[in-house]
């Protein structure tokens, strides 16, 4: 309806529309008459006549080249300018929407259509300060910038109407500046008033406008057709120009209301604003303000009374309809206006079904605003059956509101999922049944962008970049299985939780540039790097130092080249991880120059700066044959190349471009003979690049080298490494870089345990606390190569000098080394915990646990002897669980348990020949001290059991011997024989101060109780019900409060002989 609009106005020259873009061809014959001119500037006098800071800015300013000739060398800005204001009725080309307005050229984008944020910000300030009424911005990015928002707010405060393109990625991801509060966001429609298939969409979009195959001006007096929201934005800007031309003095809120009200319906399943703008309606409609400020579009509200707030300049109505673009509306009510920033009305959502609704405000019968919201929280299903299920995960994500949950049913989904600006939960039925795999060129499985969402219980595989890629999202990634991806989890952000995931066969398991985050209980295996703490970008949102205050706990990182690579990390807590069977356990590399030397013939590893004979990680082998012949041979996959550049000029960028050879060093003779002064590049098997210079001749190889990285790194600083199991790696901990870290209470059993740069502390000052082996830690670490002893039993080795792990900790060392206390006598091997020793024992082995408190729940699933004098703190679990025949356990103290202190059982067969000897079991109210279930031919002897519920509980167990035990102060029974427990012998026990001394129930028949002392129990000495043929002989039964022996219902054929009974 533009011709009808032009019957009312074609625009006014004093309405200035700034085009911030690649600029405008201001000499174009269809634009020249409408180009804004800075009348306060004298062209060509090289003076800043108007003192605005820009010399000779007669036609605007070029912020790309910082000059006063803002020429369009790309064409994009000229095309946008023609849509806004190409001259009309001039018999050439086209007519712009507002073809008598003035166009201010502001060049902020270069010849490729790209630009720097600083230039765009400067352009906005320039337009605002030099009289622009409208600023048209057909550009954007997905990154929020407070500096850009500040510039736009400044322009808004100067009276500028701000309009921007929504973007062309066919996504709901917010595009800035369009998504800022004071900016009108424009999507694109096609010739059928349908959403253009490329156009972005979402509840942040305000209106839509034509954007496909649009004819407009191009540089050099030409024309062309272009498509994009870049074309929609100037259509809206041109209509805004017509509105201001007809109604001078309207403010931004009034113009924005008119634009959102003067629309035609659109045909779209995605939200693209209130509709497609209509120029005639825009200049013929009345003016006022209609704006809903709460609830805001794209948010959720609960069930109940909702207070709707906003602005209404006159009498108004509130309505709602179900879904997007409803056909039917329900009136909430009609109200008197005006209302400014107060409650417009209340809406009772109690009776509504959970779902999507559009809330509309109509002012004065024609002006409107609307928001799309979710009422209640809903569960969306993908891949299930029945009405309302989605076939695509992405479709479900886009329809979800904050608080919604998406359940994905078992299937394989070939797609990449983008979750942006949403707080939702996406979960699968199982981590193996729901598989996400690539489709087309998709490089990442799930991308979270400013999304504080939860992802759980999925399998993601075969992606070329990352299984999960998060940017600035305080998200939770939990219980995922990630296989065969280049990176398992690539995360940049804050307050990220990564928990319980399994990552296998990736180049990097996790690449993290995060802070205040938790990485816990993950399993990472078979990767080049398990966990990489490396901020690869200078990120202003994270203050250029993202890896801070992270907790890395309870992870299992095995079978990787490097388990944990620390490139930069401050205040980390690396605690309680199982780091085993890797090349490097924890590795912090260096980048400064290092002076190296090899004497005679040797092998050398750059990563550790050590001569290492027979190491699988050495980088070269050196041999000095005579004064003139020197051989340098690459080893273990390392590659070398001789270069012409000087050592000082080599950087990471030019190092990675060099050619390499496995067989010989490029540039050397056939024998790899290297003269002094040679400069080389090396690519090591660990993936590092380095530069190296041969410094001197002679029989020793002297050289200078440095590892090369594209960014400055700080490695590990001010962090704690504690209570980790670091075993079976070639290198345990290598701290070649970093400082002020404390490393204590770790169990170290590696080929080379530790290498240090002498700026860290390998113990704490003899402080009590929880120990990795169960007792109190007192200072340092456990070392497999420690040869000292602990003669005074304080848990510390008797070292006169600081222990430094075979000389590899170059300063300080561990002055308080802890001593391992579990020993397999048959294997002649020490272990750090009882359970670990049991797991690695062979049938029939004897495992000895030395004195101390062990905080463990022990499971014995093989025949062996477990001896010693330890204290087991079961910390709320079963103390010792015996699951196999022929087990002997002796001389343990067990406390703080649930179910049982000792539990002998197996549901598949009967256990026999178990001996429990010389135990002390106490302090677990309402639980069983020793519990035999389906056990036969076993012995409980010389044990003390007190302060439990049932001291010894025997169920479905026969032919066992319970002898020489002391049982007292238990809340229920001293010994309870239950449920067909027959043929047991209870001999020579002391059972006092319990509720009942011995209790037989439910066919506990043919048992023998003899020569035991049973006294001072609160009820009965011996109590039998439904149990027969019990033989009681030679017992002293006295001072039991109700009865010495009580044979009750169903107890028959019992015999009592030679007992002493009195009360």
**CA 88 – CA 86 distance, rounded (Å):** 6
Instruction: Judge contact between 187 and 262, C-beta under 8 A.
Output: no
CA distance 1027 to 999: 10
Pairing label, strands 355-363, 367-375: antiparallel
3 state SS of 590: coil
Alpha-carbon distance 1063 to 1042, whole Å? 9
Name the percent of the chain in helix, strand, coil, to the closest 5.
Answer: 10, 40, 50
For the purposes of burial, counting CB atoms within 10 Å of the CB of 327, is it exposed (0-12), middle (13-18) or buried (19 or more)?
Answer: exposed
662, with CB counted inside 10 A (0-12, 13-18, 19+), is exposed
Spatial distance between the Cα atoms of 829 and 822, rounded to a whole number of angstroms: 9
Instruction: Give just the sign of the alpha carbon dihedral 588, 589, 594, 596.
Output: positive
Three-state DSSP state, 2: helix
Pairing of strands 620-624, 630-634: antiparallel
The answer to whether the beta carbons of residues 430 and 452 sit under 8 Å apart is: no
- In whole angstroms, what is the distance from residue 602 CA to residue 621 CA? 6
Q: Which two tokens stand for residue 417?
A: 């999922």
3-class secondary structure for 188-200?
EECCCCEECCCCC
956 is catalytic: no
CA dihedral 112, 114, 116, 122 (to 10 degrees): 90
Q: Pick the catalytic residue: 230, 453, 517, 973?
A: 230
Helices and strands (DSSP H and E) totals, the chain: 10, 93
- Contact indicator for 259, 163 with CB cutoff of 8 Å: no
Cα 754 to Cα 751: distance, rounded to the nearest angstrom: 9
Cβ-based neighbour number of residue 578 at 10 Å: 17
Number of neighbours of residue 284 by Cβ within 10 angstroms? 16
Per-residue tokens: 497: 């939780």
Catalytic pick among 28, 76, 79, 905? 76
CA-CA distance, 106 to 115, in Å (whole number)? 12
The interaxial angle of helices 117-129 and 146-157, nearest 10 deg, is 10
* CA angle (580, 547, 554) in 5-degree steps: 30
Q: Given its phi and psi angles, is residue 891 left (phi above 0), alpha (psi -120 to 50 degrees) or beta?
A: left
Going by the DSSP 8-state scheme, the letter that residue 257 receives in this structure is: H
Residue 76 annotated in active site: yes
DSSP 110: -
Q: Is 230 a catalytic residue?
A: yes
Residue environment code for 355-364, b if the CB has 16+ CB neighbours within 10 A, otherwise e: ebbbbbbbbb
Q: What single-letter DSSP state applies at residue 296?
A: P
Return the CA Rg of the chain. 40
Q: Which of 21, 119, 311, 950 is catalytic?
A: 21
CA distance 418 to 129: 39
Exposed, middle or buried, 648 (CB in 10 Å: 0-12/13-18/19+)? exposed
Q: How far apart are CA 412 and CA 382, in angstroms?
A: 11
* Catalytic residue positions, numbered: 21, 76, 230
């Amino acid at each position: 309806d533009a011709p009808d609009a032009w019957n009312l106005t074609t625009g006014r020259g004093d309405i200035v529309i700034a085009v911030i873009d690649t600029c405008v061809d201001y000499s174009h014959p269809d634009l020249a008459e409408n180009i804004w001119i800075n009348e306060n500037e004298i062209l060509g006098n090289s003076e800043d006549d108007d003192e605005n800071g820009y010399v000779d800015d007669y036609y605007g300013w070029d912020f790309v080249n910082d000059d006063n000739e803002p020429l369009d060398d790309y064409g994009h800005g000229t095309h946008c300018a023609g849509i806004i204001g190409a001259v009309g009725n001039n018999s050439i080309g086209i007519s712009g929407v507002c073809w008598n307005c003035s166009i201010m050229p502001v060049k902020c984008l270069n010849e490729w259509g790209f630009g720097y944020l600083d230039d765009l910000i400067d352009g906005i300030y320039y337009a605002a300060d030099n009289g622009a009424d409208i600023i048209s911005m057909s550009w954007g990015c997905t990154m929020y910038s407070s500096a850009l928002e500040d510039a736009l707010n400044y322009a808004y405060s100067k009276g500028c109407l701000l309009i921007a393109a929504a973007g062309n990625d066919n996504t709901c991801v917010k595009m800035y500046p369009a998504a800022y509060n004071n900016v009108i966001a424009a999507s694109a429609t096609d010739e059928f008033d349908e959403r253009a298939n490329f156009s972005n969409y979402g509840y942040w979009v305000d209106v839509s406008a034509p954007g496909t195959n649009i004819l407009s001006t191009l540089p050099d007096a030409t024309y062309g057709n272009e498509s994009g929201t870049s074309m929609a934005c100037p259509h809206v800007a041109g209509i805004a120009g017509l509105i201001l031309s007809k109604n001078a003095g309207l403010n931004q809120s009034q113009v924005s209301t008119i634009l959102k009200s003067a629309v035609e319906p659109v045909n779209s399943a995605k939200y693209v604003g209130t509709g497609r703008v209509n120029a005639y309606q825009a200049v013929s409609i009345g003016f006022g303000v209609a704006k809903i400020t709460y609830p805001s579009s794209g948010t959720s509200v609960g069930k109940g009374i909702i207070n709707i707030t906003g602005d209404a300049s006159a009498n108004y109505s509130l309505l709602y309809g179900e879904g997007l673009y409803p056909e039917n509306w329900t009136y909430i009510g009609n109200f008197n206006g005006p209302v400014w920033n107060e409650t417009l009305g209340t809406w009772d959502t109690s009776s509504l079904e959970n779902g999507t609704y559009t809330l509309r405000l109509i002012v004065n019968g024609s002006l409107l605003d609307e928001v799309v919201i979710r009422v209640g929280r809903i569960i969306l299903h993908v891949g299930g059956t029945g009405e309302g299920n989605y076939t695509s995960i992405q479709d479900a994500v886009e329809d979800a509101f904050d608080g919604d949950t998406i359940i994905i049913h078992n299937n394989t989904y070939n797609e990449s999922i983008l979750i942006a600006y949403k707080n939702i939960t996406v979960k699968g039925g199982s981590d193996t049944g729901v598989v996400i795999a690539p489709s087309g060129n998709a490089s990442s499985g799930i991308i979270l962008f400013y999304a504080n969402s939860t992802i759980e219980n999925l399998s993601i595989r075969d992606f070329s970049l990352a299984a999960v890629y998060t940017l600035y999202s305080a998200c939770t990634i939990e219980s995922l299985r990630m296989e065969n991806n280049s990176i398992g989890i690539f995360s940049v952000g804050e307050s990220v939780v990564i928990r319980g995931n399994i990552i296998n066969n990736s180049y990097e398991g996790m690449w993290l540039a995060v802070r205040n985050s938790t990485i816990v209980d993950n399993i990472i295996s078979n990767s080049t790097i398990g966990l990489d703490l490396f901020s690869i970008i200078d990120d202003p949102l994270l203050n250029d130092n993202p890896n801070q205050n992270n907790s890395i706990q309870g992870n299992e990182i095995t079978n990787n080249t490097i388990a944990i690579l620390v490139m930069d990390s401050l205040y980390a807590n690396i605690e309680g991880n199982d780091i085993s069977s890797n090349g490097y356990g924890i590795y912090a590399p260096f980048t400064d120059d290092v002076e190296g030397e090899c004497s005679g013939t040797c092998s050398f590893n750059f990563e550790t700066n050590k001569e290492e004979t027979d190491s699988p990680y050495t980088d070269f082998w050196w041999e000095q044959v005579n004064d003139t012949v020197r051989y340098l041979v690459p080893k273990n996959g390392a590659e070398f190349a001789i270069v012409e550049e000087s050592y000082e000029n080599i950087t990471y960028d030019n190092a990675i471009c060099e050619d390499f050879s496995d067989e010989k060093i490029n540039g050397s003779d056939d024998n790899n003979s290297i003269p002094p002064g040679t400069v080389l590049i090396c690519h090591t098997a660990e993936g590092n690049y380095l530069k190296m210079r041969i410094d001197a001749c002679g029989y020793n190889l002297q050289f200078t080298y440095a590892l090369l990285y594209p960014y400055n790194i700080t490695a590990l600083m001010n962090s704690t490494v504690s209570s980790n199991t670091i075993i079976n790696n070639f290198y345990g901990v290598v701290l070649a870089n970093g400082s002020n870290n404390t490393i204590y209470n770790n169990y170290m059993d590696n080929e080379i345990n530790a290498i240090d740069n002498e700026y860290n502390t390998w113990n704490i000052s003899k402080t009590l606390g929880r120990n990795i082996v169960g007792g109190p830690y007192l200072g340092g670490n456990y070392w497999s190569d420690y040869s000292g002893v602990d003669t005074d039993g304080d848990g510390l080795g008797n070292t006169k000098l600081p222990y430094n792990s075979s000389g590899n900790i170059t300063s300080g060392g561990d002055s308080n080394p802890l001593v391992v206390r579990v020993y397999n006598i048959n294997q002649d091997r020490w272990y750090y915990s009882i359970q670990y020793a049991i797991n690695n024992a062979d049938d029939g082995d004897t495992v000895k646990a030395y004195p101390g408190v062990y905080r463990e729940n022990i499971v014995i699933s093989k025949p062996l002897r477990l001896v010693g004098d330890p204290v087991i703190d079961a910390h709320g679990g079963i103390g010792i669980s015996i699951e196999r025949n022929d087990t002997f356990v002796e001389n343990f103290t067990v406390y703080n348990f649930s179910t049982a202190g000792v539990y002998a059982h197996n549901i598949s067969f009967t256990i026999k020949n178990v001996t429990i000897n010389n135990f002390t079991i106490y302090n677990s109210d309402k639980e069983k001290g020793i519990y035999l279930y389906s056990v036969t031919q076993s012995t409980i002897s010389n044990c003390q059991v007190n302060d439990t519920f049932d001291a010894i509980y025997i169920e479905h167990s026969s032919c066992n011997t319970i002898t020489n035990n002391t049982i007292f102060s238990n809340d229920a029974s001293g010994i309870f024989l239950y449920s067909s427990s027959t043929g047991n012998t209870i001999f020579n026990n002391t059972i006092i101060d319990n509720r009942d001394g011995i209790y037989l129930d439910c066919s506990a028949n043919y048992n023998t109780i003899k020569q035991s002392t049973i006294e001072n129990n609160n009820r009965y000495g011996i109590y039998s019900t439904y149990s027969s043929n019990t033989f009681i002989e030679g017992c002293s039964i006295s001072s039991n409060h109700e009865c010495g022996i009580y044979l009750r219902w169903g107890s028959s054929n019992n015999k009592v002989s030679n007992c002493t009974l009195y009360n």
